[in-house]
Amino acid sequence: MDMHQATVSLIASDGTRINLGRPEAKSEGNWRVGKLDLPNTYKFSAQLMNYTQSNLTAPMHFDRNSWMEAETIGMGGSMDFTIHMNLEPRLFVEVVDAQDTNMVLSDVATELVKLGPNGQPLHDVEPGDAITKLDMASGVVIDIPGTYALRATLPNHKQTNFVNPFRLNRSCWPVDRPLKVTLHMELEAVLKVVVTDRETDDKIHGAEITLVENTTGELFYLTTATGGSSAFTAGGAAMGVGAAAAMEADVSACQRIPCPGSYTIRVEKDNFEQASHMGELQVHRQTWPRDGPLELKVCMNFVGINIDGVGAFDLDGRHGQQLGHSKSSLVVTDPLAINKMPTLVALGLGTEQVRCSPKYAQLYRWGVRNGSRGLGLHLGPGHRSRP
C-alpha cells in the first residue's frame, strides 16, 4: 500500500527532532533520508492518518562503531530501516439536520451494529459486542472487513440515509483524513393537542379538532381519545401496569404537521366553546422539544343547555340543581313526573363527578340528543338508569 503520505522524524534524547519528511517523488521510492549527530540516541516516529507505528518504537543509540558494524548499511553507506504501519480502522459518525446540514444534532443516540451473513446482528459474540454506542467526538475502532448498520434515535426525528447495511474494508479508509459518516435526521413535527374544561381542568374526550395551515389551506382533522399519542411513540415493547395507566391518563390527539408553518386551531365539542388559542399558531423547527411531541393545551368553557320554560325541577328544595359545575343548572317548562323516565344522555367528560345520595334521585349528566330533551339520572349508589 502507498505510504508516501506518512511523515517520519527522529527524536533525539535531548528532545531535538530531525524531520525526515516525505519522499520528494514516488519515482524515487518510499525512502526518507536524514543526517544524524553522533553519538546520540534517537527514536523513530512515523505519522499517518488512520495508521499507527508498529515497530522501531524503542530508542536506539547510534555512534561511529555501531554505524560501521551495522548489518543494515546499504550500498551508499546509509543505514536503512523499514517502519511498519498498522491500519487503525476508526469510524467517526456525525449527525446533522436533514434540512440544515450545518446544524449538528449532538444529543442523538447512535449505534453501530455488526451484522452476520444473514443480515442479522451477530449472536456468536459476547453480549454488547455486536452493538456499539458511538461517541461522535472520539469515534470507535471497528473490526474489518465487516457488514454494519447504523441506527440513530432522536425524539421527533427519523433517519433518512444509511438506512441499509453497508460493508467496510481496508480500502474504505483514506490516508489524509478520518473516515467520517454523516447521518441525516429529518424532523417529524408531531403536535399533541389536549383539550380540557377550563373550570375543572378535566380532559375532554371526543373533542373534534381542525388544524388549518394558513399559507396552503391544508386541513388536518383530529379527535381526542384515550391513548391519543400512543401511535407516535416507540412500539413493540410489552405494556406494564404503569404504561397502561399512563395511556389511560393520556386523553389527547396527535398529528404530524408541516414545519415551519402558521396554523389556526378550531376545537368543537357539544355543550362547550373554545376559550384559548383563538389566534394564529406559529411553529418552527426550534419549537419542538427534544423529548417528545409539542403539547398544546386548549381550554373549553362549559356553556350548558337551556331547555325552554320557566318551571324549576326541584329534588332537594333548591331551584336549579347544581351538578358539580357552576353552569350546570337545569330549568324545564313543566314539572316532570319521575315515573316517566326521560332520555339519558352522557355529557362525555369521561369521569363521574357527583356522588349520589341514596335519599334522592340526583342528576349527574344531562344534554340533548336528536333534538329531544334529555336528563341523566342517578337512582342511588350502584344503580344507574340507562338510555
Q: Over pLDDT 90: what percentage of the chain? A: 37
pLDDT at 29 over 80: no
The pTM for the full model equals: 0.59
In single-letter form, the type of residue at position 289 comes to P
pLDDT tens-digit readout, 317-372: 444 444 455 555 444 444 444 343 343 334 444 433 444 333 333 333 333 333 33
Q: What is the pLDDT of residue 72?
A: 59
Residue 235 exposed, middle or buried by CB count within 10 Å (0-12, 13-18, 19+): exposed
Contact 271, 367 (CB under 8 A): yes
Q: For 15-24, 50-59, 232-241, which range has the lowest pLDDT when averaged over its residues? A: 232-241
pLDDT at 274 over 90: yes
d(CA 140, CA 130): 13
**Residue 307 DSSP SS3:** coil
How much is the mean pLDDT over the chain?
75
pLDDT tens-digit readout, 136-192: 788 889 989 999 999 999 888 899 999 999 999 999 998 888 999 999 999 888 999
Contact 179, 225 (CB under 8 A): no
pLDDT at 277 over 90: yes
d(CA 150, CA 165): 8
d(CA 93, CA 73): 46
**According to DSSP H, which parts of 135-259 are helical?**
241-249
Q: Using 50, 70 and 90 to split pLDDT, how confident is the model at 216?
A: very high
Q: Which residue has the cell 461517541?
A: 135
Closest of 26, 78, 5, 17 to residue 45, by C-alpha: 17
